[in-house]
Amino acid sequence: LHLRGQLSQAVAKGEFEVHYQPQVELTTGRLIGLEALVRWRQADGRLIPPGAFIPLAEETGLIIPLGTWVLREACAQAVRWQAEGYPELGVSVNVSVRQWEEPAFMPLVQQILLDTGLSPSHLILEITESVLLSDPQDARMQAEGLASLGVRVALDDYGTGYSNLSQLQSLRIGQLKLDRSFVQPLPGGPREQALVQSALTLGQALDARVVAEGIETEEQLLMLHALGCPVGQGYFLGRPVPAAEFEVQHLQR
């Protein structure tokens, strides 16, 4: 069977898992959120990373049912963990352009919030600058609409795109995820640090909280903290793991 056929069957059979990666407040070390990351668990137990099937899912449109499932699953999981003593935990879910551009996207988000009982203020939808490519005006209105529901939009992989500041400024962004290519060279020198600082300044100007991605070492963490970055994510703080493992690693007090 070709990958396309396998993927379509996998969506029908529900062969996916959501893994969770912690987001930590750098001043306190407190867990404040998590990013949901989908994986494909094949019948033989093999785990396929999203990079290997998300592009195909986008191409075939299977990202619509798959993305809906991930969103619902992640919101339901966040509600369970909130009830278990983490009432402030937020959940971040990646959204493909294909999903974002569906006319039914906003009502779907609302329905899932209703069904799962997650408060809108605890949901963060991660998009990339590519949503600005086809219809910036529409993207602006959708971000506006989500903000009016109380849902925040995060700009993922910030620093790797090509949007100009005025486009970004017009998009209602609640969070800026600093791409790991800016984190990797830290502690670095004045130049590397200035790039991070410029992202922090932009975050302030946009009233968007900056989350540094891809923190792999303590040195990177300490430099980000010194530069005033509020939140971090990365292997040094925790890898993406299944829900049960996340509980063991991060939720046991």
As a dihedral over the C-alpha atoms of residue 86, residue 67, residue 249, residue 34, rounded to 10 degrees, the angle is -50
Distances (CA, A) of 135 to 28, 129, 140, 167: 40, 11, 9, 11
Residue 101: CB atoms within 10 Å = 14
Part in contact with Na ion (CB under 5 A); list of ranges 152-160, 166-174, 203-211, 245-253: 152-160
Q: Which run of H or of E encompasses 9?
A: helix 3-13
155 binds, among Na ion, Mn ion, ligand G, none (CB under 5 to 8 A by kind): none
Q: Fill in the per-residue mask, 38 to 77: x = in contact with ligand G (CB under 6 A), - = not in contact.
A: x----------xxx--x------------x--x-------
Q: Binding segment for Na ion among 61-69, 102-110, 136-144, 209-217 (CB under 5 A)? A: 209-217
Residue 148: burial class (beta carbons within 10 Å; 0-12, 13-18, 19+): exposed
Cβ atoms 39, 19 nearer than 8 A: yes
At closest approach, how far in Å is the CB of 49 from ligand G? 4
Using an 8 Å Cβ cutoff, are 122 and 148 in contact?
Answer: no
Selected binder of ligand G within 22, 33, 159, 214 (CB under 6 A): 214
For position 156 contacting Na ion by CB under 5 A, the verdict is yes
Among 91, 202, 234, 250, binds ligand G (CB under 6 A): 234
159 binds ligand G (CB under 6 A): no
Give the binding site for ligand G (CB under 6 A). Answer: 21, 37-38, 49-51, 54, 67, 70, 94, 96, 156-157, 180, 213-216, 234-235, 240
